[in-house]
Amino acid sequence: MDVLVGIDVGTSGLKAIALSTDGSVLSSASRSYPLSTPRPGWVEQNPDDWWDAACSAVRSVVEQLDCCGSDSGTRRRDRENWRVIAVSLSGHMSSLVMVDREGNALRPCLMMTDARGAEEARFLEEAVGEEVVRLTGGSLRASSMAAKLLWIKRNEPEVYEKTSVFLTAKDFIRARFTGELCTEPTDAGNTMFLNPYSRRWAHDLYESMGFDLKHLPRLVETTDLAGHVTAEAASQTGLPCGTPVIAGGADMACSAVGTGCVEEGVVAVTIGTAAQVVTLAHKIDPRGAGRITFHPHAIVGELYAMGSIFSGGLTLRWLRSTIGENEAIRGRTGSYYDRISELASEAPAGSGGVTFMPFLVGGGSPEFDPAMRAGFIGLSLDTGMAALVRAAMEGVAYNARDCLNVFREIGLPVSVLHMGGGGSASAIWRSIMAGVLGGTVRPLAMRDASALGAAVIAGVGVNAFSSIYEASKRLVLFESNVAPSDVPVYDRQYQIYDLARKALRPVYHHTGSGQMQVPGGER
C-alpha cells in the first residue's frame, strides 16, 4: 500500500497523519510544545521544539502503520505491506526563523502574533506601502515578516549578519528532514515581497526595504521535490532514508486544499484557536485591500482570499479559564467543550438578545484593528451561562459573516459552505454558522485540513494524483449537511452586532488614554 505523510506545524502543536492514496487516514499523532512571551508583545517559539515534536509524532505514525506485532519478524512482514512514497509539510504563516548555513536556528522564531515590529511596520508602510498594496493587495503590519526582519536587522545585527537565509516554520522542519534550505510561494507570499502572479521574489522591492538579497531562500514550487529524507532524519523519525520530501505550503494554503477550496464559490470556515474564512480568487482586488488578504494558492496560477478572525476557538478557551467548571457545566458528560456546547444548545437562537463582540486579541477582518476589544452587549439579570456561551459562538459566526460580506462586495461568489477545524466538532456551532451565514453547511470529515492538504500535496508531487484539484475533489469528505435555521433571528441580531462593532471602535481607541474626544472638541 502506498502511503503519504502530511505534517502540520501548528502554533500550539504538531500533527502528523499517514494517508493512503485512496484517502483513508491510516494513523495520526500530535505533539504539543510551549509558547514563550518574554516581553509584552513578544511571541516566540523554539524551532528545535518543533523538530522534537516532528520526530516523535512521525515515529508514532510509522509505528502505528507497523501494527502491533511485537517480534521483529512480524514487524518486517507488516512493513512489506506498506511504503511511504512521499512526505510534505504545512506550517503556521508569517513565522520568521533565522538560520545559519547548516540550517540551525540562530534565535527563537518570531511568531505571526509577535508585535515587536510595529514601529518597523510603520516605517515600511510609509516607505513602500503603496507598492506593497499594488503588488500583494495587503498592507504592512507588525505581523508581516518584512517588519519582523527589519526589527532583527535593527535590534539584533549580529543575528542578521550570521544569517544564511530566513525560513518559515515548515521550511525549517523540511530542512531538518532534507538538509535543503528553501521555501515556496504560499509561505513566501506572506513576506510582502513576493510577486503572487509570477510566484518569484520581487528583488527591487526587497532591496528598497533595506534588506540583503543573500538572505532570500531559494524558491521551489509547492508540489516540487525539495529533497529526500537524510540518514540522520530517518534514524530519528522512522521514515525510510531517501523518501521524497515535497515542498508543501503555508497552513492556510494547505487548508484550502484540505477543505476543498479548489474551485469558485466554495467558502471554507475553519475554527481553530483563531478562525479563517477562505475562498478561491483569481486575482487581487484592491477593493478588498485592508479588509481581507490575498495569498498564493497551492494551485499554480490561483490565489485564495482570506478573512481572518483572531478569536475563534479562543473564545471558548477564554470562557473555560474564566468560569471554569461552573455549576451549569458540572454533571454533564464528555469533554469540557462537549459539555459547554451542550449548555449553549439550551439557549435560544440569538441568545435572548445577548451579543458577543469576539475581539479578545483585537480585530481581524474587516478592520484589522488591534485596539478593538471583546464584550457582551444586552446583558440583564436573567442572563444565564447558556446564553453567554451561545452568544460567544454566535459572535464568531457574525465575524465570519463580515468576511463573506467582503467577498460578495468584491465579486467573489459564495455558493457552498464548508466547515472544518476543531470548532466544527460542535453540533451547535455548526447550526449557528449555517443560520448566521444563511446557507447549508457541509462539515468536513477530516477536521485537520492543513495536515490533509499537506498529504495531498505530497501525493501530487510524486504523481500519485494528477492534480491538486483532482485529489482534493476525491479525498475531501464530509459529514451530514446542516441546513440553516432561525435565519430571521440571526439577521436581526447580526444588525445589532454590526452597529455595535462600528460604534465602539472610537471607544476602543480611547480606552486607557484618560481622554476621549467628544463632539464639539470637549473632553
Reply yes or no on whether the pLDDT at 98 is more than 90: yes
Which position has the higher pLDDT, 74 or 485?
Answer: 485
Can you tell me the distance from the alpha carbon of 517 to that of 523, in angstroms, rounded to the nearest whole number? 6
Instruction: Pull the grid cell for residue 253.
Output: 494554503
Instruction: Pull the grid cell for residue 489.
Output: 433571528
pLDDT at residue 510, as a whole number? 80
pLDDT tens-digit map of 341-356: 999 999 999 999 999 9
pLDDT at residue 288, as a whole number? 95
Residue identified by cell 470529515 is 445
pTM recorded for the entire structure: 0.92
Question: Where are any strands of DSSP class E within 358-462?
Answer: 375-377, 416-420, 441-443
Mean pLDDT to the nearest integer, 195-210: 97
Question: Where are any strands of DSSP class E within 157-242?
Answer: 165-167, 182-183, 194-195, 200-201, 218-219, 225-228
Mean of the per-residue pLDDT values of the chain: 93
Mean pLDDT to the nearest integer, 111-127: 93
With beta carbons less than 8 A apart as the criterion, state whether 421 and 313 touch. yes
pLDDT at residue 138, as a whole number? 86
Cα–Cα distances in angstroms (integers) from residue 348 to residues 168, 329, 379, in the given order:
44, 17, 15
Q: Across the strands, what pairs with 275? A: 271, 309
Can you tell me the distance from the alpha carbon of 243 to that of 231, in angstroms, rounded to the nearest whole number? 10
CA-nearest of 423, 457, 473 to 443 is 423
Can you tell me the distance from the alpha carbon of 392 to that of 400, in angstroms, rounded to the nearest whole number? 13
Can you tell me the distance from the alpha carbon of 235 to that of 280, in angstroms, rounded to the nearest whole number? 40
Can you tell me the distance from the alpha carbon of 88 to that of 464, in angstroms, rounded to the nearest whole number? 13
Share of the chain above pLDDT 90, in %: 85
**Band of pLDDT at residue 69, cut at 50, 70 and 90:** very low
Mean pLDDT to the nearest integer, 226-237: 98
Of 201-215, 424-438, 500-514, the least confident: 500-514
Which position has the higher pLDDT, 460 or 370?
Answer: 460
Can you tell me the distance from the alpha carbon of 427 to that of 476, in angstroms, rounded to the nearest whole number? 20
**Band of pLDDT at residue 323, cut at 50, 70 and 90:** confident
Mean pLDDT to the nearest integer, 83-101: 97
Mean pLDDT to the nearest integer, 123-142: 93
Reply yes or no on whether the pLDDT at 416 is more than 70: yes
CA 194 to chain centre: 19
Reply yes or no on whether the pLDDT at 325 is more than 80: no
Reply yes or no on whether the pLDDT at 73 is more than 70: no
Mean pLDDT to the nearest integer, 281-300: 95
pLDDT at residue 337, as a whole number? 87
Reply yes or no on whether the pLDDT at 512 is more than 70: no
The H or E element spanning position 56 is: helix 47-65
First to last CA, the chain: 73
Whether a cis peptide bond, with omega within 30° of 0, leads into 358 is no
Backbone angles phi and psi of 467, in degrees to 5: -165, 165
Can you tell me the distance from the alpha carbon of 311 to that of 511, in angstroms, rounded to the nearest whole number? 20
Reply yes or no on whether the pLDDT at 76 is more than 80: no
Reply yes or no on whether the pLDDT at 437 is more than 70: yes
pLDDT at residue 518, as a whole number? 33
Mean pLDDT to the nearest integer, 95-100: 98
Q: Across the strands, what pairs with 268? A: 278, 418
With beta carbons less than 8 A apart as the criterion, state whether 163 and 215 touch. yes
Can you tell me the distance from the alpha carbon of 196 to that of 188, in angstroms, rounded to the nearest whole number? 9
**Band of pLDDT at residue 72, cut at 50, 70 and 90:** very low
Can you tell me the distance from the alpha carbon of 25 to that of 446, in angstroms, rounded to the nearest whole number? 9
pLDDT tens-digit map of 135-188: 998 889 898 999 999 999 999 999 999 999 999 999 999 999 999 999 999 999
Reply yes or no on whether the pLDDT at 513 is more than 70: no
CA-nearest of 338, 330, 317, 305 to 428 is 338
pLDDT tens-digit map of 439-485: 999 999 999 999 999 999 999 999 999 999 999 999 999 999 999 99
Can you tell me the distance from the alpha carbon of 449 to that of 254, in angstroms, rounded to the nearest whole number? 7
pLDDT at residue 78, as a whole number? 53
Mean pLDDT to the nearest integer, 493-498: 98
Q: Could you give the angle at the alpha carbon of 313 between the alpha carbons of 410 and 330, nearest 5°?
A: 145
Angle between helix 449-461 and helix 468-475 axes, rounded to 10 deg: 130
